[in-house]
Structure 1
Amino acid sequence: MSAEPLEIYLEPQDLERGLRQDVRAGLTAEAKWLPPKWFYDSRGSELFEEITRLPEYYPTRAERAVLAEHAPDVASLTGAKTLIELGSGSSEKTRLLLDAFTRRGGLGTFVPLDVSVSALLGSTAQIAADYPGLRVRGIVGDFTRQLDRLPTGGGRLVVFLGGTIGNLLPAERADFLAAMRAALEVGDWLLLGTDLVKDPSVIVPAYDDAAGVTAEFNRNVLYVINRELGADFDPEAFAHVAHWDPDHEWIEMRLRATRPMRVRVLDLTVEFAAGEELRTEVSAKFRPEGVAAELRDAGFAAAQFWTDPDGLFGVTLAQVR
């Protein structure tokens, strides 16, 4: 069975408008910031795939270990008819779930949602070829805005992996989970991947690797803004910083100006002092009881919580109440 034509709810002009809004808001703030979603042009996506293979970057391996062990449990506990993946990318880890559902039987439809048309075209075609009995419906959309576009009907399992929920600030997480609950029905399921709080000596190197790949990934957002908005950032004049915030229990990735700079972007002239930092990502780390509480507040009941053998990464299976 071939993949169905993509359902597109996010056009290129929507992305450009969003980039303009974020750049204007973030670069005029007292403490400058940019959201991490703008890392991921084709080069950024390649760099992130490289990051996931680095020895320091444990989250991908740890989450894969959880799924390899417990995908059959997910299939048997949920009995899902439709599997929806948010921020799907290549859907590589999701194949562990698809394999388990295929062995069990009963799964009819796979719905990956991502902002990237090219990523979805490639992944949906490959999955449709590898799982010929499966209906594959790719949706081009933003998981923070287009959850109301998810297919309706009972027996749904939404998968949100990679610890991506940690890129949302607490209020944003609450809004996201509330919107997720509103898009689902009682009895539907959510499978959520969360990186766990641990010794910073393990966490920090995952965001500041010895080979400098994460530094290149971090600076890529400036190349994106130069290309898309005609800005004149000198990305190599910014140093990569990975800072552990023990009070919030999250990593902040930042870009630190190595000299005074004046950057022109949109109709703005943005001044950077030497040593001034631009926050590009927050990556929150979680405790199991905190995950369960945030899910409960949004109307989900945590049914299972699994970790890898080293307790680095958690995967929670929750059901809509």
Structure 2
Amino acid sequence: MLPYNYLLCFSCPFSSSKTQMVDLRNSNTVTEFILVGFEKSSPSIQAFLFTLFLALYSLAMAMNGLIIFITWTDSRLNSPMYFFLGHLSFLDVCFITTIIPQMLAHLMIKNHTVSFVSCMTQMYLIFFMGVAECILLAFMGYDRYVAICHPLNYAQIMSRQVCVCLVGTSWTFGLINGIFLEYISFRNPFNRDNHIENFFCEAPIVIALSSGDTQFSMKLIFADAIVVLLSPTVLIVISYVHILASILSRPSSSGRRKTLSTCTSHLTVVIFLYSSAMFSYMNPRSTHGPDKDKPLSLLYSIIIPMCNPIIYSFRNKEMKGAMRRALGRTSLAQAESV
């Protein structure tokens, strides 16, 4: 005997189609999201945060812009390390521009709504740039390994074509992975709460607002994070194990210090970025919350992009010299124009 629901579908075709239309219409009732951000703070606190984040954003843009300029124009910085560093700074500029200007606007106005499409676009760009940066940092670790452990063959192994191919691979992987993560985040309908307890559209929070099997989506995010974060981490660890063995085998202590100085900057950036991303995307949903998500989001959305050029500049004599030359040319050009 056929089930009653099955018989009802055939006995009432018009009613069935009408029900399907209602279900389809109600499957995604959320047309916009509300970014809670810092709206619960007092106006004086919001004004202070606006001034602070505007200063940090301006500093991050200026420092990364300077690195992009000098690595692409200074002929003395023509090694693969600076080629990668220029692209890293470009990714940082794109990443923070995707998040911070919107946050600054929401600190000044009361309307914190963003459209569904705008939220999807922002999330895709964050995935795209974030994944590309993680892969690029792994290739930068490999570059350090080749430079220290195979110095005689460094120019052949890390040729210009190879460097372009590695950068293109990081961008391509970010592009494809961003599409995959976007699908995971928005595969379920949204017909419940539309308040995002953060200052931008972040995947774990958005997924929690959707209907359907959110646990499955979070498991897919976790599995993707293993590929994107742990796989490059393994490559970086292997590279630095060989680097450490090569450094310890050298008799000169001055040579060891010089070699280590070129690696500590990269390792510092890797630790900051990878640890914050792992806490955000590889923790169970029960450990998330506004008090934990916002500090982590601030860390990798503005603090790390601001610190990256500072870390590389302060630990590298060639970068300091290139910055002085660039700033000197700028000052001279301004004096001549006056």
Structure with a larger share of its residues in helix: 2
Name the TM-score class by shorter chain.
under 0.3
- TM-score normalised by length of structure 1: 0.23
Largest Rg, 1 or 2: 2
Higher relative contact order (CA 8 A, sep 6+): 2
- TM-score normalised by length of structure 2: 0.22
